[in-house]
Amino acid sequence: MNNPINIKNKKAYFDYEILEKLVAGMQLTGTEIKSIRMGKASLADAYCVFKNNELFVKNMRISVYDQGSYNNHEPYRDRKLLLNRKELNKLEKQTREKGLTIIVLRVFINEHGYAKLEIALARGRKKYDKREAIKQKDLKRDMERLGKLK
């Protein structure tokens, strides 16, 4: 099954230093999965938090489904992430450290048709770190450009 749905959080790589990546499932309603399959999701300010030893994603917008009628979902509701207990315990322990958070990198549909979330343990970057990242990116682009011209 070749599904082109791959919704990315482009700001995440700029604003955060990615330490570790994981793939998690999500508990969704029927209208939510239909909206994701249509590509109507936004991860702009999405992050994950622990509530009662369970991991939830907050601020992830999944637009309402057009043909959903009264069965439609709330666009910004908290959605439970599906990880095994060992992974949850490890993440919870690491997020207690100063400055670490869990952010959402992308939403995709896997080969079995399930919506999956790629999450990452990340540390926020300072303003000077962001400037350094821009410099490195520009230098890399210039080097590639020079390599192609020769």
- What pLDDT digit, counting tens, does each position of 41-52 carry? 888 888 899 999
Which SS3 state, helix, strand or coil, does residue 21 take? Answer: strand
Domains in the chain, CATH or no CATH each = 6-124 (2.40.280.10)
Give, rounded to a whole angstrom, the gap between the first and last alpha carbons of the chain. 41
Between CA 64 and CA 41 the distance in angstroms is: 10
The residue among 5, 76, 72, 1 whose CA lies nearest residue 36 is 5
The number of CA neighbours under 13 Å toward the Cβ of 26 is 28
Q: What is the pTM of this model?
A: 0.76
Section 81-86 average pLDDT: 91
- What pLDDT digit, counting tens, does each position of 90-137 carry? 888 888 877 788 999 999 988 888 889 999 998 887 777 778 778 888
